[in-house]
Amino acid sequence: MSIAQQIVAPVASSACTARAAFRPPCANATPAQLAAEVTRHFARRAGEPVLIHYNEYGRRAVTGTDMAKAIELAVAQFEAKRATGARTVILQLGNKPEFIVYLMACWLSGLVPLPMSPTYTTEYIIGRLSQRIAGPVLTVRAGAAGERPCPATIEIIAYRPGKGCAAGERWGYALPTGGTEGNPRICPVPDEDVAKSLHGLAAIADTAGWRAGQVQGVFGALDHAASFRFLLLGLRDRNLIVLTDLPDAERLVDVMLDERIGWTHLTPVQMAPMARAPRFRELGSAAWISGILHTSARCPRPLKRAWIDVLGADRVTELYSFTEMAGATIISGRNWLDHPGSVGKGFATQVRVLDDNGAALPAFEVGRVFLRSGLSRSLKHSFMVSGVEMTPSGYYFLGDYGWVDEDGFLYICGIRERIVDDAGKPIYVDVIEDCIVDAGGVADVCITVCSRRTGDAGMVAHIVPGPGVRAADALASARSACADALARSMWPDLWKAHKAFPRSTAGKVVRAQLSKQVADAELAGPQ
């Protein structure tokens, strides 16, 4: 009898019975135990839908029986590859039911899943893998589409052997970081921290309207940390998952209304087109929506206000966190209205703003943002070789600069890679971006830092005009906003209009690609 059959067998005879009383797995559960519980839940639900999937071709409901059987087949596939010695499995399945199938099968088979975008080539993947991943590795790519989850294609990458885990160390999964400034880095999560991190995430989600057993929307790319972890939390809590793979984010409003989704996690890049959807304002009267949580990137203040105006301040919450789980801050819509632009206060996290010498800074002074949480120790297992700094007392700095106000609310004003030195005085480009987008006529803005001919740093402002706004008018509005509100040293050197920005699967602007477009430009100085 296979591993999956052993798990499903005890509940097969009662597969059509009512759902068992829910009790989440304990904080010490292993990934294999979590996967076993999810698989048993699927088997209990038998012919009932446990997953709704939307893509460009339409909607399909996937039953518990379909999922449980598919997991059993996937476990058998991994068993057939056991002789390869592979420990890491790269899941390139996108937002498909098969992603959940092979994720559960990985854990049931004692393997380490690493979600990555389906667009990544084998050569690109090899370039991202750290020496601490021992080769070879397996890649799982989607097979032929069908009404039920279909077997995927599993291939072996002959990746050169690395050092692997440290003695006595086991990884539960690994995730790529957002890759905003360039190539994503790989961050592993220790086996023992998988369930613990879900308990911590549940506490955060509870403040944002989370309810176990609800209808949950999973709209973001599953190789992004927030989408991946909230999917895990939904599976743990036996939610009915509505998983989407839609090219047009405006359609997410229809999905939320038609499926009566009670809770979802969104990114600003999804929120902007959703706010333009014809039925957007209907969300305000949808009483079944208990909350939305947004994260992943800075949300423009006009966009945030538009969502609060429709849903109400009590149903919009923002989370500031990291793939590396260094800590988190959270802010409700009501608190945000009192502290616009803030990312909130630490949630089970201590926040410190320090200068370059490690001294604490008073309110309103900009410095390096350090975080410490109960899971911060996971960073010690991470193989992010650059960009992480730790104090002797266990606070981590991952590159963000910011300040706190007199009430202790944190504001982020830039990351290390996007700070321009102006005769020894730092210029934070996020401040310039806020000024431009608040002026109107601009849907999106991104400032990249380039080198002038003189050798010092210059700035290029990239903008996306608002709906129905000509590029020339949007550029004029942006220039005027900078001239009215900012010192001349903060004016961008060059301006470029775009139809859209290149983005990662997490929805973040890939600034490195924008920078390449002007890498050879001659930046003489502020215009």
234 token code pair: 């939904």
Tokens of 445: 């803005």
> 43: closest CA among 20, 76, 74?
20
Three-point CA angle 355, 356, 360, nearest 5°: 25
H/E stretch holding 271: helix 268-275
Query: Cα separations (Å) of 251 from 59, 270, 280?
Result: 12, 10, 10
136 within 8 A of 157, measured Cβ to Cβ? yes
C-alpha Rg value of the chain to the nearest Å = 23
Q: Is 164 exposed, middle or buried (0-12, 13-18, 19+ CB in 10 A)?
A: middle
Structural tokens at position 493? 């050197």
Tens digit of pLDDT at every position of the chain (527 positions): 555 555 655 544 443 444 444 556 666 889 999 999 999 999 999 899 999 999 999 999 999 999 999 999 999 999 999 988 888 999 999 999 999 999 999 999 999 999 999 988 887 777 777 655 767 889 999 876 666 777 788 888 765 555 555 545 688 999 887 655 556 678 888 888 899 889 999 999 999 999 999 999 999 999 999 999 999 999 999 999 999 999 899 999 999 999 999 999 999 999 999 999 999 999 999 999 999 999 988 899 999 999 999 999 999 999 999 888 889 999 999 999 999 999 999 999 999 999 999 999 999 999 999 999 876 555 555 544 455 788 888 898 988 999 999 999 999 988 877 788 777 788 888 889 989 988 789 989 999 887 766 666 788 999 999 889 999 999 999 999 999 999 998 999 899 999 999 887 667 788 888 887 765 444 444 44
Q: Is the pTM of this model over 0.95?
A: no
Confidence (pLDDT) at 377: 56
DSSP run (H or E) holding 445: strand 442-451
Question: CB–CB of 461/475 below 8 Å?
Answer: no
Q: What is the pLDDT of residue 279?
A: 98
- What is residue 522's predicted lDDT score, i.e. its pLDDT? 47
Q: Does the 429-517 domain belong in CATH 3.30.300.30?
A: yes
Q: Is 383 exposed, middle or buried (0-12, 13-18, 19+ CB in 10 A)?
A: middle
CATH of domain 348-422: 2.30.38.10
Domain edges within the chain: 3-313, 348-422, 429-517
Q: What is the DSSP letter of 16?
A: T
CA neighbor of 337 nearest in space, from 351, 363, 317: 317
The sign of the torsion formed by the CA atoms of 113, 116, 118, 124 equals negative
Residue 462 CA to residue 211 CA, distance in Å, equals 40
Helical spans, DSSP H, in 424-470:
429-438
Sort 367 into a burial class: Cβ within 10 Å, 0-12 / 13-18 / 19+.
buried
Measured distance CA(342)–CA(409) in Å, rounded: 6
By the 8 A CB rule, do 312 and 333 touch? Answer: yes
Closest to 421 (Cα-Cα) out of 369, 461, 458: 458
Q: Whose structure tokens read 């502020």?
A: 526
CATH superfamily of 3-313: ANL, N-terminal domain (3.40.50.12780)
Structure tokens that stand for 385 in this block: 């070789």
- Sequence-ordered alpha helix ranges (H) in 83-136: 97-108, 122-128
